[in-house]
Amino acid sequence: MVLIEWSEDFSVGVPELDKDHQELIDDINDLYEQLGSGRDELTVMDFLDAVYAAAREHFVREEAIMLEHIHPGYEDHKAEHGRFLERMGELMDGYQDDVQNDDGGMSLWLSHWFVNHFQVHDARLHTLADKNTQQP
C-alpha cells in the first residue's frame, strides 16, 4: 500500500529538492510497507535510520538554497525541520522500546507531516524557482 503518491503538486521547481522529495516519499512508503509486513526490529530500524538520514540531508540542502536566495520564512522553516528531527528521534527511541505496539502509526505520522509541511512551508519555495528562471 502506498501512503503518499508523488504528484507534480509536490514539485517546487528546484530539481534537486524535487528529487529529494520524491525519494523521501519512497522512503516513507517503504517504511510503511516494512511496518505492515511484520519485519524484525533491526530491519525496521534500518528503514527508520534511512528516513532520518535522508530527511536530515535534505533539510541541510534545502536550508542552504533558502539562505542563498534570502528566502523569507527561513527561520520558521528551519525550526520546523528541527522539530521534525527531534520528533523522529523520539519515535525511533519509542519504537525500540515498544516494537510490538507500532501498527504503522509512525509512517502515518510521517506521511501527514510531509504533506502538511509541503503545503505550509515547501510550497513557498516556488519563489526560488521563479527567481532562477528570471535571471539573465
Summarised one tens digit per residue, pLDDT across range 12-49 is 888 999 999 999 999 888 888 887 777 777 788 888 89
Summarised one tens digit per residue, pLDDT across range 114-131 is 888 888 888 888 766 555
Sketch out the chain's domains with CATH numbers.
Answer: 14-131 (1.20.120.50)
Q: According to the model, what pLDDT value does residue 78 have?
A: 95
Q: For residues 3 and 116, give the distance between their C-alpha atoms in angstroms, rounded to a whole number.
A: 14
Summarised one tens digit per residue, pLDDT across range 49-107 is 999 999 999 999 999 999 998 888 899 999 999 999 999 998 888 877 765 555 567 77
Q: According to the model, what pLDDT value does residue 55 have?
A: 95
Q: Could you count the other beta carbons within 10 Å of the beta carbon of residue 34?
A: 19
Question: Is 58 strand, coil or helix?
Answer: helix
Question: Which has more confidence, 109 or 97?
Answer: 109
Question: Is 130 strand, coil or helix?
Answer: helix
Q: According to the model, what pLDDT value does residue 135 have?
A: 44
What is the separation of C-alpha 19 from the centre of its chain, rounded to a whole number of angstroms?
12
Q: According to the model, what pLDDT value does residue 86 have?
A: 95
**Amino acid occupying residue 122:** D
| Average pLDDT value for residue range 4-11 | 88
Q: For residues 133 and 20, give the distance between their C-alpha atoms in angstroms, rounded to a whole number.
A: 20
**Amino acid occupying residue 105:** G
